[in-house]
């Protein structure tokens, strides 16, 4: 029987879920750093994601919880 990987997104904070979503869109892989939003935001910004895109994504995830 094939085992499925655990659903880590349930344990992420709303901010980490938003950053994970942006990270997956950008790098096609899960967020490698949990709980270090400033580092993740810096990397995303250096890769071309605007501060406004990050703020909107975080707002979407934090306002729904």
Return the domain boundaries, the chain.
33-65
Q: How does pLDDT run across 7-60, given as a tens digit for each residue?
A: 655 688 999 999 999 999 999 999 998 889 999 999 999 999 999 999 999 999
State residue 48's pLDDT score: 97
Report the distance separating Cα 41 and Cα 50, nearest Å. 9
State residue 7's pLDDT score: 61
Would you state the structure tokens that stand for residue 37, as one six-digit string? Answer: 């939003």
Report the distance separating Cα 43 and Cα 26, nearest Å. 11
State residue 62's pLDDT score: 87
State residue 31's pLDDT score: 92
């Amino acid at each position: 029987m094939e085992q499925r990987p655990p659903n880590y997104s349930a344990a992420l904070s709303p901010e980490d879920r938003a950053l994970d979503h942006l990270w997956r869109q950008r790098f096609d892989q899960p967020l490698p750093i949990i709980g270090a939003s400033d580092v993740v935001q810096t990397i995303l910004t250096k890769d071309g994601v605007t501060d406004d895109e990050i703020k909107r994504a975080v707002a979407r995830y934090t306002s729904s919880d």
